[in-house]
Structure 1
Amino acid sequence: METAAKALIEGYMQKAEKKLKVAKKLLKSHDYEDCVSRAYYAVYHAAQALLLTEGEKAETHKGVVTLFGLLFVKTGKFNKNIGRYIANLKDDRESGDYEIFCYVDSKSAETAVSEAREFLKAAREYLQKNYPNVLK
Structure 2
Amino acid sequence: MIEQHQIGLARYRMSKAKEKIRAAEILLESSAFEDSVSRSYYAILMAARALLALKGLDSRKHSGVISLFNRHFVKEGLMDRTASRIIQDAKGEREEADYGDYKVVTEDEAMNQLAKAKEFVKEAEDLLENLIKAQGEEYS
TM over 0.5: yes
How far does residue 65 in structure 1 lie from its aligned partner after superposition?
A: 1.1
Aligned residue for 1:99?
100
User: Partners in 2 of 1:43 and 1:84 — Cα distance?
Assistant: 12
How far does residue 64 in structure 1 lie from its aligned partner after superposition?
A: 1.1
Secondary structure of 2:105's counterpart equals coil
AA partner of residue 86 (structure 2): Y
- Over the residues paired in the alignment, what is the CA RMSD in angstroms? 1.6
TM superposition score normalised by structure 2 = 0.90
Moved over 4 A (4+): none
User: Partners in 2 of 1:12 and 1:123 — Cα distance?
Assistant: 11
Aligned residue for 1:129?
130
Aligned residue for 1:19?
20
Aligned length: 134
CA radius of gyration, larger in: 2
AA partner of residue 110 (structure 2): A
How far does residue 3 in structure 1 lie from its aligned partner after superposition?
A: 2.5
User: Partners in 2 of 1:2 and 1:53 — Cα distance?
Assistant: 8
Listed as ranges, the gaps of 5+ residues in structure 2 are 135-140
Mapping for residues 1-136 of structure 1, pairs under 5 Å = 1-132=2-133
TM superposition score normalised by structure 1 = 0.92
How far does residue 85 in structure 1 lie from its aligned partner after superposition?
A: 0.8
On the 8 A contact 2:7/2:132 being kept in 1, the answer is: no
AA partner of residue 23 (structure 1): A
Q: C-alpha offsets along residues 66-96 of structure 1, whole Å, 9 cap, x if unaligned?
A: 1111111111111111111111111111111
